[in-house]
């Protein structure tokens, strides 16, 4: 079940759900808007010839109140808000329609697990033929919350737990390689 603004306000007020800070116009009828933070990562493509799943990716990180994303370019950013989900809620990250209509695709793999705590890392892709300039503090994405049928037995404790800034891919830490003949 998708949670309403009334339920979201109650959960925040009771401390069961943390989204800090929450802006005056952040809570929507069925979601909470998150704003763009000031920390960014760009892949250091000059130092690598290929990205692989088993090698750490090199990023250039920087802080800024504005960012211009060139046409057909990708970067990572973080939310301004710190998120902490209880073990009975999950959230979907969706781009805001007004921003999508500019050609900016926003994602974070689309899912926030129960028990996650930290700033969200967002994947931003400019699909437009023109650069897009963004300002920190502007609403950029929305979280849609769903209540689970029961509390999670094993809440999230993964490699992105308690991230305090934008974090690049840590896929190289996965150990599920399956050998084929």
Phi-psi map region of 57: left, alpha, beta (phi>0 left; psi -120 to 50 alpha): beta
**Residue 145 to residue 127: CA distance in whole angstroms:** 27
- Where residue 62 falls among pLDDT bands split at 50, 70, 90? very high
Cα three-residue angle 66-70-76, rounded to 5 degrees: 60
Write the pLDDT tens digit of every residue in 48-61.
Answer: 788 888 888 999 99
Confidence band of 168 (pLDDT split at 50, 70, 90): very high
Q: What whole-number distance in Å separates Cα of residue 141 and Cα of residue 95?
A: 4
Q: Where are the alpha helices (DSSP H) in 35-180?
A: 97-100
Active site residues: 123
d(CA 143, CA 89): 12
- Give the fold, CATH level 3, of 5-49+57-153+160-167: Deoxyuridine 5'-Triphosphate Nucleotidohydrolase; Chain A (2.70.40)
Q: Where are the domains of the chain?
A: 5-49+57-153+160-167
**What is the model's pTM?**
0.90
Express each pLDDT in 9-30 by its tens digit. Answer: 999 999 999 999 997 799 999 9
pLDDT for 48? 79
Looking at the predicted structure, is the pLDDT value of residue 178 above 70?
no
Q: What is the pLDDT of residue 111?
A: 86
In terms of Cβ atoms closer than 10 Å to its own Cβ (0-12, 13-18, 19+), residue 98 is exposed
**3-class state of residue 42 by DSSP:** strand
Task: Kindly tell me if the per-residue pLDDT of 170 is higher than 80.
Answer: yes
């Amino acid at each position: 079940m998708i949670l309403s603004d009334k339920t979201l306000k109650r959960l925040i007020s009771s401390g069961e759900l943390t989204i800090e800070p929450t802006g005056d116009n952040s809570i929507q009828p069925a979601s909470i808007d998150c704003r763009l933070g000031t920390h960014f990562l760009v892949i250091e493509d000059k130092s690598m010839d290929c990205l692989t799943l088993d090698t750490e990716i090199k990023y250039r990180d920087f802080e800024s109140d504005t960012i211009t994303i060139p046409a057909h370019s990708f970067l990572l950013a973080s939310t301004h808000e710190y998120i902490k989900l209880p073990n009975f809620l999950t959230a979907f990250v969706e781009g805001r329609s007004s921003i999508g209509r500019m050609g900016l695709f926003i994602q974070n793999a689309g899912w926030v697990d129960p028990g996650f705590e930290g700033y969200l890392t967002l994947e931003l892709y400019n699909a437009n033929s023109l650069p897009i300039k963004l300002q920190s503090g502007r609403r950029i994405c929305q979280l849609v919350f769903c209540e689970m049928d029961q509390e999670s037995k094993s809440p999230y404790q993964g490699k992105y737990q308690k991230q305090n800034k934008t974090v690049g891919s840590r896929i190289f830490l996965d150990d599920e390689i399956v050998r084929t003949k």
